[in-house]
Amino acid sequence: MDTPVELIVGLGNPGPDYHRTRHNAGADLVFELARQAGTSLSPDKKFFGEAARIALGNRTVHLLYPTTFMNRSGKAIAAMAQFYKIAPEAILVAHDELDLEPGVARLKIGGGHGGHNGLRDTISALGNNKNFGRIRIGIGHPGHASQVTGHVLKRAGTDEQTLIDAAIDRAIDVLPLIAKGEWNKAMHQLHTK
């Protein structure tokens, strides 16, 4: 894919109870990206979340953190995509990933939701279009399906959070390439570190 990214979304749940939990790893990426760009996200009712615009490489990119709760993330994403006429192929969604260990971040284009409610709702809200990019931030699997909910809604231990934060930083490092549409180069750089 060589479509430049116009919108980067960080998935998470709103409120202090969920701040910095594993499930909010995508939101953490967007907040860190804004911080590194010298700005912060502000509430925007028409997008059902918090939004900002930053310069990434030589392009302007929208940032969005839906505050609708994870399983309604698509409502916010679709609202911003429609308002700015952003195609699904120009959207990058950052989210936590059970199937990757902490410290690992991977880029992916398209695919299913893999049981992730934020992705499920996003696909639905975009008219069942799955062709958006994803940054998958590893949070590890607790070992049994019955433990997943508790795992994702808890904060990681200090060592584990350090690994997650390092993966977020490595993912942010390749975002200027994605803003130019250089997905293959970005994937190569991120996946071979």
Q: What is the mean pLDDT of the chain?
A: 93
Domain presence at residue 48: yes
Task: Report whether 65 belongs to an annotated binding site.
Answer: no
Q: From CA 44, how far away is CA 182, in angstroms rounded?
A: 30
Domain presence at residue 107: yes
pLDDT in tens, 168-189: 999 999 999 999 999 999 999 9
Q: Does residue 23 have an active-site annotation?
A: yes
Task: Report whether 71 belongs to an annotated binding site.
Answer: yes
Domain presence at residue 2: no
Domain presence at residue 1: no
Task: Report whether 18 belongs to an annotated binding site.
Answer: yes
Beta carbons of 129 and 156 less than 8 angstroms apart: no
pTM tops 0.75, yes or no: yes
Structural domain total, the chain = 1
Q: From CA 125, how far away is CA 49, in angstroms rounded?
A: 15
Domain presence at residue 122: yes
Task: Give the CATH number for residue 97.
Answer: 3.40.50.1470
Task: Report whether 69 belongs to an annotated binding site.
Answer: yes
Beta carbons of 163 and 137 less than 8 angstroms apart: no
Domain presence at residue 109: yes
pLDDT in tens, 124-173: 999 988 899 999 999 999 888 889 888 989 999 999 999 999 999 999 99
Catalytic residue among 23, 62, 116, 151: 23
Q: Please give the radius of gyration of the chain, using alpha carbons only, rounded to the nearest integer.
A: 15
Nearest CA-CA partner of 94 in 149, 179, 177, 28: 28
- Domain range for 147: 7-191
Residue whose entry in the numeric block shows the structure tokens 């709760």: 69
pLDDT in tens, 85-120: 999 999 999 999 999 999 999 999 988 888 888 899
CA angle 101–143–120, rounded 5-degree value? 70
pLDDT in tens, 3-20: 899 999 999 999 999 999
Beta carbons of 55 and 28 less than 8 angstroms apart: no
Q: What is the DSSP letter of 155?
A: B
With a cut of 70, say whether residue 1 has pLDDT above it. no
